[in-house]
Amino acid sequence: MSGSPTDGPGENGSGENGPGEAPFTALRGQLHEAATAFAGGPDALEGILLGMVDDVDRAVREPLEIFPVCHHSPASALAMARRLREKQPKVVYLELCEDMAPLLGELRNCRLPVAVQAFASDIDGFPAEWAPLSVVAPVTEASAEYQAIAYALDTPGVELVLVDRSSDHVFQWDSRHGERAPEEAAGPAAGTAEPEAALHGEAVGVEIGDLRPRFAELEEHLLRHGKVRHWSEWWHQYVEVPLGDSDHAAYRQVMFLIGSLFRRLAPGDGDRVRVDEERERYMWTRMREHLASSGADPEDCLYVCGAFHAASRVEEFGVAGSGSYVISPRSATTWQHGLIPSSHAAIEAQFGLASGSVSIAATQWATNLKRTRVRPYRLAGQDGAKKPRAAKRAAPVVSAPPEEAATDRLSGFLRRPPVLDTLDEAELLGWSVDIVRAARRSGYPASTADAIAVFETSILLAGMRDRAKPTPYDFQDAAITCIEKDTVPGRRDVRRLVEIMMGGDRIGRVGYDALPPLARDVHDRLAPLELRLQQRGVQRALLDMNSRPELGACSDVLWMLRRLMPHGAARPIMGERKLGERSIQESWDLALGTHQRALIELGYEGVSIEQVLEQRLRRDAYGPRATTAVVLAAVEDATLYLRGRRLADELGHRALEVLAAERTVDGAPEVLRRVRGLLAYYRTGEPVLPPWVESFVKAGYAHYCTLLPTAFTDEDVTVGQVAAMLGFLFSMEGLALSLGCDRAQLELAVAQSRPTDPERTALLWAAQVQLGALSRAELRERCGELLANPMVVPAYPRYLSGFVHALVPVPGLADVVVEAVSNAFGRLPDPVLLPWLPTLISTLRAGAADLAPLLVREAGRIFPARLAALDTWVPPWREVPEAHAPATGRAEAAGGGSRGAALLFAHPGTLDAVAELLGCDGVWATPDADAAGPAGAVLSARHPDTAIAWESLLMRP
């Protein structure tokens, strides 16, 4: 619509000769003269300066009142509270994600600051690596948007309409235009000292009024000439303080001017500018749609948006704007919405603000309220709010004050010298005394002299920075200079102490009624513990299930929370939960209030923790990177926490599928450990093994037999993995053979193995001993040959490492390993032994830390228990075997004659039962009945060869 009041003038600032142009004519003339004087004639500078005035003029003349704000600005919040009480709008349009509207009513059940969150774990239409998607919009009491929300929700007849892009469009536009990938979104800086700074996680932040120069040179110029350190201090000094006492018209025009300045001096980042314009088109389209459908009068509406977007130049700007913007549909992603706790530190970290700036803004907000006596809006029933009235009365029908003709308030504001606040000595002195007291408690050697020094230095710094009254930032610099010096004796430095003294990092809390169903269910099921679970900090819970069986249900919940939530939320101190074991007493450290965000995000995934756990286990088992070990871990967790066999059997069959598809043995140690535990559990607790276990053992036996020869020579396979493969084959051999497997397959696999590495060679020898292809005597001879060969001695520790790993499949070789180590200490000379000891220790510690106790026990069994007996002690492997006599001679020498089986005669019942079972009839003869005949085992005397063979086998060294 050409010629309409909403059409702004061109970039040259000429404008149209309309009635709305008169108020800023004088300002345009002054800026034209200034541009000519500084630039030597009309150029781009004049276009920028006059264009800023045109932007202000255009925004002021818009029939739908635009209220520009800055996020978490006390001046904006104070001006908002004033304007709402004056205008009493019937519709409030707010720049906030439109899909977050249903949650705003739950803010009354929370303690600010909190953040409205949109969360999506199952995504459709976005790259899979972005999951989970999260968008947060923090809300503090000292913010203009909270004042608008509280007014709209607690005032009858007022409608609150959120008009900004939805959470889905936030990521749609990131993907399409590359504004920033979600993983690159603003978030807590790495290594943040305070854990509260991570309350928002990796969420993308959405704020109202991102007022910060996008032109780095401009920000540097403002900081240098403003004699401040960072942007938050500049904003506090040159915007917050001057606008704190300004009227509504001056506030609006100044904020319009700042937004136009930062917009026109933004660098040529086309993608970001395109997204900004998309948001503005989106919001104005939504507002025009609502006006058309509701029939509301624009004069009764208020549009709350960031000052950067208030001075917009898109075609859709204004209620009479042109353009036909079409809003794209949302993706198929399912979004969950809720409230999560926030903090001042989290807001500062996410939006790149200076540390402590939000806390200082909260203190400034409280000071402004006391000074101006403005009544802020607060949601009824909220923490810190006054008690609500018994019955809500309708808002009084008052007519808005007559709109005055737009006047130029910028000229006076820009020409007025800064108002120098007088020094409040009492306030500054109180700060100085308080910081010295806090420093003493933190270990600093501060004294009264330091308090005086901080007081005087604050005044000196403020004077050097052209201000009469020291700001909190001046005081902070002075305290650091005078107290901290060069050391920090405690956990907190002086900068952090000043932030705490100025108000501290306030941490919000989501009330019980605003929690998702899962979180409320957790609190209800843990109610028997009689703890304040919403309180921050660590609380100790003692569970005695023996005297209070009802606490067993609480124990189940706590173990599931430990599995699902971050470390520290539920930490067991006493008690454990393993397959087949349950503790009767447990002790827990609980910090659910500290990790409230994680508990709330669990509620986005299901309505109970059992459902969430089942979904997590399925996701792990059926994920693209699932391995056999991962699936078996899911089977174990399903058995431990969910009790029933349904999910465990399903995941067990999934483990069988994954094993059949694997071509590597990377997870063999973990598979062996998990299978052994599950097999022991089912054998002791179930009448029969589950079918999937039997199938898994059969498939695993064939799988590892096939891969064994390759694993012995593959450089990418570790010795521990090969040992785990052999451990699976040898420990599961009995069950596998009973299920139809062929032992010849294992024998062929071992025979085909040709390792060249010393560790794998020792492991192969151990496997041959287990299979009977190599005797223990031959293994001892090979170890002796290794020690006797000077060329092999340097590699002897690696052979020992292989022998130690061989204890996994062949634990019976512990005595041979102890013998091998002992022989090395006894036979190697000191020049060879001493340099080798560090290598031996590091080898055992790195490769066999869990097997060392087995060696220690074996050594304790072999070696003498007392030091005095060590001199005469002879190792068992060095004892000379005695000559064996015939069996009859040994019996006669031992007993002085033939003795017979005395135990059988003393207790004949067992042999009678066996004889009856075999169908044999006989009569027992007394020892004296046939004294002249042969006594004892007559069969052994008739056929002595069998007995002699058994004796030689049992006495073999």
Annotate 803-849 with DSSP letters as a single string. HHHTTTT-GGGHHHHHHHHHHHHHHS-HHHHHHHHHHHHHHHHHH-T
Rounded to whole angstroms, the Cα distance separating 170 from 156 reads 32
pLDDT at residue 236 above 80? no
Confidence of residue 211 (pLDDT cuts 50, 70, 90): low
708 or 26, higher pLDDT: 708
Rounded to whole angstroms, the Cα distance separating 24 from 34 reads 15
Task: Write out the two tokens for 329.
Answer: 């549909």
| Backbone phi, psi, residue 249, to 5° | -65, -45
pLDDT at residue 632 above 90? yes
Q: Highest mean pLDDT range out of 559-563, 739-743, 793-797, 854-858? A: 559-563
pLDDT at residue 720 above 80? yes
Q: What is the mean pLDDT of residues 522-534?
A: 90
Q: Of the candidates 867, 300, 335, 806, which has an alpha carbon nearest to the alpha carbon of residue 605?
A: 335
Rg of the chain (C-alpha set): 41
Task: Write out the two tokens for 267.
Answer: 């660098």
Task: State residue 93's pLDDT score.
Answer: 92
Task: State residue 21's pLDDT score.
Answer: 47
Share of the chain above pLDDT 70, in %: 78
At 36-49, the pLDDT tens digits run: 555 555 555 556 66
Name, in order, each residue with C-beta under 8 angstroms of 334's C-beta and a sequence gap of 6 or more.
120, 122, 124
Contact 546, 585 (CB under 8 A): yes
Q: Highest mean pLDDT range out of 190-204, 419-433, 697-711, 897-911? A: 697-711
Cα end-to-end distance, the chain, whole Å: 108
Q: What is the mean pLDDT of residues 365-384?
A: 81
Confidence of residue 22 (pLDDT cuts 50, 70, 90): low
34 or 292, higher pLDDT: 292
At 40-87, the pLDDT tens digits run: 555 555 566 677 777 788 888 888 889 988 877 888 888 899 899 988
455 or 836, higher pLDDT: 455
Rounded to whole angstroms, the Cα distance separating 797 from 778 reads 20
Confidence of residue 419 (pLDDT cuts 50, 70, 90): low
Name, in order, each residue with C-beta under 8 angstroms of 945's C-beta and a sequence gap of 6 or more.
none
Name, in order, each residue with C-beta under 8 angstroms of 211's C-beta and a sequence gap of 6 or more.
70, 71, 235, 258, 259, 262, 306, 307, 308
Confidence of residue 572 (pLDDT cuts 50, 70, 90): very high
Rounded to whole angstroms, the Cα distance separating 9 from 424 reads 47
pLDDT at residue 411 above 70? no
pLDDT at residue 409 above 70? no
Contact 232, 354 (CB under 8 A): yes
Cross-strand bridge partners of residue 205: 136
pLDDT at residue 391 above 50? no
Rounded to whole angstroms, the Cα distance separating 890 from 690 reads 53
Q: What is the mean pLDDT of residues 169-179?
A: 63
Question: Greatest CA separation found in the chain?
Answer: 148
Q: What is the mean pLDDT of residues 933-955?
A: 68
Q: What is the 3-state secondary structure (H, E, C) of 714-733?
A: CCCCCHHHHHHHHHHHHHCH
Confidence of residue 827 (pLDDT cuts 50, 70, 90): confident
Q: What is the mean pLDDT of residues 274-302?
A: 87
Confidence of residue 261 (pLDDT cuts 50, 70, 90): confident
Confidence of residue 900 (pLDDT cuts 50, 70, 90): low
Q: Which residue has the tokens 């549009």?
A: 303
- At 548, the amino acid letter reads R
Task: State residue 571's pLDDT score.
Answer: 92
Helix (H) or strand (E) holding 544: strand 539-544
pLDDT at residue 14 above 50? no
At 299-322, the pLDDT tens digits run: 989 999 888 888 788 888 888 877
Antiparallel, parallel or unpaired: β 133-139 and 301-306: unpaired
Task: State residue 817's pLDDT score.
Answer: 85
Task: State residue 588's pLDDT score.
Answer: 92
Task: State residue 46's pLDDT score.
Answer: 56
pLDDT at residue 428 above 50? yes
Sign of CA pseudo-dihedral 625, 629, 631, 636: negative
Residue 666, SS3 per DSSP: coil
Task: State residue 19's pLDDT score.
Answer: 40
Rounded to whole angstroms, the Cα distance separating 633 from 627 reads 10
Task: State residue 193's pLDDT score.
Answer: 47
Contact 625, 669 (CB under 8 A): no
Tell me which DSSP letter residue 590 carries: E
Q: Of the candidates 72, 135, 109, which has an alpha carbon nearest to the alpha carbon of residue 509?
A: 109
- At 88, the amino acid letter reads Q
E-assigned strands of 56-205?
A: 65-69, 91-97, 110-111, 114-120, 133-139, 159-164, 204-205
Task: State residue 28's pLDDT score.
Answer: 60
Q: Out of 251-260, 631-640, 698-707, 907-916, which region has the weakest mean confidence (pLDDT)?
A: 907-916
Rounded to whole angstroms, the Cα distance separating 160 from 177 reads 30
Task: State residue 635's pLDDT score.
Answer: 93
Task: State residue 69's pLDDT score.
Answer: 87
Task: State residue 412's pLDDT score.
Answer: 62
- At 937, the amino acid letter reads A
Rounded to whole angstroms, the Cα distance separating 852 from 846 reads 11
Contact 740, 685 (CB under 8 A): no
Residue 690, SS3 per DSSP: coil
Task: State residue 512's pLDDT score.
Answer: 86
Task: State residue 399's pLDDT score.
Answer: 46
Q: What is the mean pLDDT of residues 824-853?
A: 73
Task: State residue 628's pLDDT score.
Answer: 92
pTM, to two decimals:
0.70
Task: State residue 559's pLDDT score.
Answer: 92
Q: Of the candidates 382, 369, 474, 470, which has an alpha carbon nearest to the alpha carbon of residue 142?
A: 369
pLDDT at residue 125 above 50? yes
Whole-angstrom CA distances from 229 to 468, 473, 495 are 18, 9, 14
Task: State residue 396's pLDDT score.
Answer: 46
User: 622: burial class by Cβ within 10 Å (0-12, 13-18, 19+)?
Assistant: middle
Q: What is the mean pLDDT of residues 222-240?
A: 72
Task: State residue 388's pLDDT score.
Answer: 46
Q: What is the mean pLDDT of residues 350-370?
A: 79
431 or 905, higher pLDDT: 431
Task: State residue 794's pLDDT score.
Answer: 80
Q: What angle do CA 720, 734, 730 make, to 5 degrees?
A: 15
Task: State residue 27's pLDDT score.
Answer: 62
At 744-768, the pLDDT tens digits run: 899 999 999 998 888 899 999 999 9
Q: What is the mean pLDDT of residues 693-702?
A: 91
pLDDT at residue 589 above 50? yes
Tell me which DSSP letter residue 352 carries: T
902 or 252, higher pLDDT: 252
Name, in order, each residue with C-beta under 8 angstroms of 130's C-beta and a sequence gap of 6 or more.
123, 171, 181, 182, 183
Q: Of the candidates 79, 296, 102, which has an alpha carbon nearest to the alpha carbon of residue 209?
A: 79
Rounded to whole angstroms, the Cα distance separating 459 from 141 reads 31
Q: What is the mean pLDDT of residues 932-950?
A: 66
Contact 628, 667 (CB under 8 A): yes
- At 82, the amino acid letter reads R
Name, in order, each residue with C-beta under 8 angstroms of 330's C-beta and a sequence gap of 6 or more.
166, 168, 169, 172
Antiparallel, parallel or unpaired: β 301-306 and 114-120: unpaired
Task: State residue 326's pLDDT score.
Answer: 84
Q: Out of 286-290, 474-478, 566-570, 857-861, which region has the weakest mean confidence (pLDDT)?
A: 857-861
Q: What is the mean pLDDT of residues 195-210?
A: 60
| Backbone phi, psi, residue 907, to 5° | -130, 80
Task: State residue 480's pLDDT score.
Answer: 86
Rounded to whole angstroms, the Cα distance separating 437 from 446 reads 8
Task: State residue 395's pLDDT score.
Answer: 42
Rounded to whole angstroms, the Cα distance separating 426 from 434 reads 12
pLDDT at residue 575 above 70? yes
pLDDT at residue 843 above 60? yes
58 or 937, higher pLDDT: 58
Q: Out of 515-524, 555-564, 577-586, 905-914, which region has the weakest mean confidence (pLDDT)?
A: 905-914
Rounded to whole angstroms, the Cα distance separating 305 from 283 reads 10
Task: State residue 91's pLDDT score.
Answer: 92
Task: State residue 400's pLDDT score.
Answer: 47
Confidence of residue 202 (pLDDT cuts 50, 70, 90): low
Helix (H) or strand (E) holding 589: strand 585-590
Q: What is the mean pLDDT of residues 667-683?
A: 90
Q: Average model confidence (pLDDT) for the chain?
A: 78
943 or 552, higher pLDDT: 552
Contact 228, 241 (CB under 8 A): no
At 321-343, the pLDDT tens digits run: 777 788 888 888 888 888 888 88
